Amino acid sequence: CYLYSHADPRTMAAKEDLYSKILPRRLRQSRLGSAKSGSNLDVLLNMGFPRPRALKALVSTGGRSVQAACDWLFSHVDDPFLDDPLPREFVLYLRPSGPLQNQLSHFWQQSRVTCGKNKAHNIFPHITLCQFFMCADHKVEALCEALQATVQQWRGRFPSPLPLELYISSNFIGLFVGDQVADVLKQFASDFANEAARKAEVHVEPHKKQLHVTLAYNFPMDHLPSLEKLAKGIEVKLGCDWLAVLFSRDIRFANHETLRVMYPYMPQNDDELELVPGDFIFMSTVDQSSTSEGWVYGTSLTTGLSGLLPENYVSLADESDTWVFHGFLKLNTSKTLWMFDGLLDSRRSDNTSAGDTTTLSLICHPVQVLRISGSHSRQPKRTLFVCRHGERMDVVFGKQWLSLCSDSKGRYIRSNLNMPTSLPLWGKQRDYDMDTPITVFGSIQARLVGEALLESNTVIDFVYCSPSLRCVQTAQNILKGLQQDGKLKVRVEPGLFEWTKWVSGNSLPAWIPPTDLAAAHFSVDTTYRPLIPVSKLTVSESYENYMSRSYQVTKDILSDCKNTGNNVLIVAHASSLEACTRQLQGRSPQSAKDFVQIVRKVPYLGFCSCEEQGDTGVWQLVDPPILPLTHGPNHTFDWRETLLQE
């Protein structure tokens, strides 16, 4: 491993195959070695890594596992600062869990949707116990022990509940801790500082200002009424278990902007940086003076490499997105429940058994894309993608398009290159008048989206679609672009059909059953049982019923897929992008009039992404992993009428 980490980049690809064959066996041995040696550090040392690199890898990944540390080392093989002995910056926060945390997460999401991002959104809800302080990699183990010792000393003394009082000014909103209790918390922080100095020789400065949870600050004045209303909706007396949580960040990028990579980019010149969606870029505003317009200079979190990158391929992220979580201790409990960096994975409180995790509130690790050439990590967050179908035949060729495709014997014959060469089950009294297929361009549009998802390394675990033929065809072509056609089955869900008020006539379309679709070589799941069967759909339903139906079926889909896959793709209608995501974010439905205006703006293959925010049950719209697809209509070209005119 040591030799591999020093390898010339030109030989990396050849050694990847060898690494993939050797590492699984070594990791199996490492589990046995860990039981004997007591730490992931010992395992890495036994694998041949130098101690400084092994320590840096463990600290940089929060000590999650030997595998995570190895991935970090291999992805940073060309990092010029790999052997730099710079310490990391650490901070100790109190984080809420339980009902109060859910309320705060809801406020975070709602305030961001309603008023946009303000400075408070850069970091999760917390109470600051100390200022950022430096700690060398080899002292992190002792630092964790100092926090554990402090919490042990405070067992049963931690005040519960914490009294919080809402404070609102023209540019700041927060929940302040009562003075007497705040003094107690400051004493806890002071005791931790003393332990950190004694055990790790680390200087920690306890927070001396008023202790509080910041809700919003540095926002425009016209946002104050909305933020105030949301803040007053927080029930501060709800139950809460407070956790002492230790985070760290790379000291080199403390004053940099944090950017999230949205689209892949392969360098065209030596001074450019490769971009992988999901990675983070650190950008210093000072270093941008000499860059060309539309380009910025930054450093990759995943590789440690720096270079120029196109500005429109990244978006602003939260500062804490790149922080490393090292562990937490639960304070207001008779037991000292704790989870720490893997450096301490063999040590445990006498009062906590190895399997006692029932009351542990898991704090998710930050999103970090650890990359080895040729392989890509899976997105850790659950994501819902909603996509509109492709271009419709009846919109392009008019309501009488069927007559243009039929010969005298009723056989299908296309009369335009944008008409498909064949249609499934033509001649078997198919109700194509109410269940129109997509055009050839519609199929191309869908494949382009699938190819873009493939290029962005987006993994789709489940595909659901409306029973409309245009949606089934679109889903099939997206899977072709993803190279998953035949491997991933589409689940046809009638509950995803559009607002039935828009259906002409007094009956719903006679959709092709999944068994017939499968017989016509569509990759559909014939064993799937719909959440809302066709019999439950009614013609001319109310707007409220449609929004309720869409919300319910989306929630049920996400519930059914939980723990079996991260990413769900819904292929349905223009209205679905709004109907399937709005209430999922905790937002109330628009008026029917406003809803129609939104739907009119969704083009063919309009695409949106909605991410789950941790385990809170709160979802939020985010930038999709693919570029938008712009296209426009054109009239039929008749060369006789155009070119033979006198």
Give catalytic status of residue 157 as yes or no.
no
Helix (H, G, I), strand (E, B) or coil at 579: helix
Q: Identify the residue whose tokens are 């992993």.
A: 625
* Rounded Cα distance, 608 and 130, in Å: 40
Kindly give the interhelix angle for 440-455 and 469-481, rounded to the nearest 10 degrees: 40
Strands (DSSP E) contained in 389-500 are 462-465, 490-492
Kindly name the residue from 88, 371, 573, 582 that is annotated as catalytic.
Answer: 573
Cis peptide before 9 (omega within 30 of 0): no
Comparing CA positions, the residue from 608, 264, 581 lying closest to residue 451 is 264
340: Cβ contacts below 8 Å, ≥ 6 apart: 63, 144, 148, 246, 326, 327
Kindly name the residue from 53, 388, 491, 582 that is annotated as catalytic.
Answer: 388
Helices (H), 47-98: 51-60, 66-75
Cβ–Cβ < 8 Å for 389, 572 = yes
546: its two tokens: 């449609």
* Feature table: binding site: 470, 501
- What b/e sequence results for 88-109 when a residue is b if at least 16 CB atoms lie within 10 Å of its CB, and e otherwise? bbbbbbbbbbeebbbbbbbbbb
* Feature table: binding site for substrate: 470, 501
Q: Count of alpha carbons within 13 Å of 303, Cβ hemisphere only?
A: 17
DSSP 90: E
Cβ–Cβ < 8 Å for 9, 78 = yes
Strand pairing class (295-300; 280-283): antiparallel
Give catalytic status of residue 388 as yes or no.
yes
166: its two tokens: 């809402």
Cβ–Cβ < 8 Å for 422, 430 = no
* Rounded Cα distance, 486 and 524, in Å: 9
Give catalytic status of residue 365 as yes or no.
no
CA dihedral over 209, 210, 212, 216, signed as positive or negative: negative
How is the beta sheet containing 295-300 ordered, strand by strand?
306-310, 295-300, 280-283, 257-261, 314-316
Which helix H or strand E contains 545, and what residues bound it? helix 543-561
Amino acid at site 307: G
CA dihedral over 391, 396, 399, 405, signed as positive or negative: negative
144: its two tokens: 């964790």
Kindly name the residue from 389, 430, 491, 582 that is annotated as catalytic.
Answer: 389
Catalytic center residues:
388-389, 573
